[in-house]
């Protein structure tokens, strides 16, 4: 087992990782930028090292700075959290070359699955269903036109190196396609330093459902059930829940089995997520695989009782999974709401600033993961996620009521600061969400005032 873990991240996920490390008796090292010198994890960790100025490329994305911090502090493992360097195979190889364990999947697996187009081909070869589209990057306008003619509209253009909902463009109008294709390549270059894109058919009315997998280096693998992540704005998740309400048991069984098959088929090691689109009927299709811990992992933890960060660390240390599939028995319903420092009334524009009031919910079966506190200044350099409010209840109806109560208890204020709290609260009250008939169009539906059918879907127990 490791003695010291460096947490190569910031914000709520850095605090969350540090807490599990402390419970395991592991020494923790936090890294921070000048913009994060007052971050909660700096105070929580056993040691903290400043690694650069505010911009991510000169701090949290600087592999040399992070490796040097690990050397100076004697850290023998690095947990990357999510985002930043968490899915960078080159960084994982640098760690290995320096004798430091990267808490994540092998670099070769990350490299293969980090190419979203290549992932489609690999997983299709393993028997997982994928939408019509390309399994290689589309390099030219002529190639793009041929693909569009074959699969039809609407379609979606995605960055090969993308993730987190970024680098995505939906095209419904054939006349706008080539312009959107050129814009997508330029955007991919700007966001990811890689202009390659791929194309697949777009499902207008679909649910976003993902499966949490956990594997070790000895060929053992399990899943921790599924999560519904359909409440999104601009492909960025806002509310997640487990289990996915209303899905037939046989579909869930097929989807979770497919995810484990895919993970074991590529030699995956650690915690990972297989993301699917669920259309009408019994169809589901793989979107992508995320080689890291997900923001929404707490909902899986609450329904299964499994600490995913602990399992990541144990697997990275070379231990076999102590769990088999029969040990995982999801109970009840867990819901997570992302409290972002954003103003929904202005298109979810970030609103960083000093927090003069920061009151969080409490009470039975309420969990809050955050790095915020009264007096904390939310920096403008990073993602706007401030807190994750997570609740558990024996069934979905009680979980929705508990989340509504928890959000009502939240009070975050400061000059110029706005949050998504009221928008999240309105979402919980929306008849489509209450009836569990929502899909990825729900936020647009709310913003346009559409009122589709709201006949209630059955709750799955």
Residue 7: C-alpha distances to residues 99, 123, 156, 394 (Å): 16, 31, 35, 34
**Pick from 66, 83, 110: which is nearest to 270 by CA?**
110
Let me know the angle formed at the C-alpha of 287 by 221 and 176, rounded to the nearest 5 degrees: 170
Q: Is the peptide bond before 253 cis (omega within 30 degrees of 0)?
A: no
- C-alpha–C-alpha distance, residues 168 and 189, integer Å: 12
Beta strand extents in 71-180 (DSSP E only) = 77-79, 101-102, 155-163, 166-171
Q: How far apart are CA 354 and CA 295, in angstroms?
A: 24
Q: What is the DSSP letter of 133?
A: B
CA distance 206 to 230: 8
Q: Report the C-alpha gap between 434 and 427 in whole angstroms.
A: 9
Q: Active site includes 57?
A: no
What residues have CB less than 8 Å from 174, skipping those under 6 apart? Answer: 148, 153
From the candidates 292, 367, 396, 402, give the one annotated as an active-site residue. 292
Phi, psi of 286 (to 5 degrees): -70, 135
Are 119 and 273 in contact by the 8 Å Cβ rule? The answer is no
CB 452 within 8 A of CB 241: no
Contact 11, 382 (CB under 8 A): yes
**Euclidean distance between CA atoms 369 and 295, whole angstroms:** 10
How far is the CA of 13 from the CAs of 128, 137, 269, 285, in angstroms? 31, 32, 20, 29
The beta strand positions in 174-216, using DSSP E, are: 197-201, 207-215
Residue 234 is given by DSSP the state: T
Residues annotated catalytic, as ranges? 292
């Amino acid at each position: 087992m490791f003695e010291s873990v460096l947490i190569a991240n910031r914000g709520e996920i850095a605090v969350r990782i540090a807490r599990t490390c402390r419970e395991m008796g592991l020494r923790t090292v936090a890294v921070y930028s000048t913009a994060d010198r007052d971050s909660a994890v700096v105070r929580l960790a056993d040691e903290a090292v400043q690694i650069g100025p505010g911009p991510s490329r000169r701090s949290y994305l600087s592999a040399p700075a992070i490796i040097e911090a690990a050397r100076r502090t004697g850290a023998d493992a690095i947990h990357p959290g999510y985002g930043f360097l968490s899915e960078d195979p080159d960084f994982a190889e640098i760690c290995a070359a320096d004798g430091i364990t990267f808490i994540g999947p092998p670099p070769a697996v990350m490299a293969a699955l980090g190419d979203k187009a290549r992932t489609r081909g690999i997983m299709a070869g393993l028997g997982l269903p994928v939408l019509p589209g390309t399994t290689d990057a589309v390099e030219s306008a002529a190639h793009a036109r041929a693909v569009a003619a074959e699969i039809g509209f609407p379609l979606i253009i995605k960055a090969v190196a993308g993730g987190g909902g970024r680098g995505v463009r939906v095209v419904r109008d054939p006349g706008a396609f080539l312009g959107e294709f050129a814009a997508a390549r330029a955007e991919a270059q700007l966001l990811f330093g890689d202009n390659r894109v791929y194309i697949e058919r777009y499902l207008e009315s679909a649910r976003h459902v993902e499966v949490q997998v956990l594997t070790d280096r000895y060929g053992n693998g399990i899943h921790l059930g599924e999560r519904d992540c359909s409440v999104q704005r601009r492909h960025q998740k806002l509310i997640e829940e487990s289990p996915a309400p209303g899905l037939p048991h046989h579909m869930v069984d097929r989807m979770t089995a497919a995810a484990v098959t895919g993970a074991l088929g590529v030699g995956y090691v650690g915690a990972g997520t297989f993301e699917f689109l669920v259309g009408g009927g019994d169809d589901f299709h793989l979107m992508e695989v995320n080689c890291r811990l997900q923001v929404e992992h707490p909902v899986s933890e609450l329904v299964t009782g499994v600490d995913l960060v602990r399992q990541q660390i144990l697997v990275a240390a070379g231990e076999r999974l102590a769990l088999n599939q029969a040990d995982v028995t999801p109970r009840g319903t867990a819901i997570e709401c992302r409290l972002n420092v954003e103003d929904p009334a202005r298109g979810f524009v970030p609103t960083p600033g000093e927090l003069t009031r920061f009151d969080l919910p409490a009470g039975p079966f309420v969990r809050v993961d955050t790095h915020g506190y009264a007096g904390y200044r939310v920096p403008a350099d990073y993602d706007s996620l401030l807190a994750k409010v997570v609740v558990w209840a024996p069934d979905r109806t009680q979980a929705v009521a508990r989340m509504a109560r928890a959000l009502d208890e939240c009070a975050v204020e400061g000059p110029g600061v706005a949050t998504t709290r009221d928008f999240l609260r309105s979402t919980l009250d929306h008849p489509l969400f209450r009836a569990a008939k929502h899909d990825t169009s729900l936020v647009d539906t709310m913003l346009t005032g559409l009122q589709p059918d709201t006949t209630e879907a059955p709750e799955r127990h």
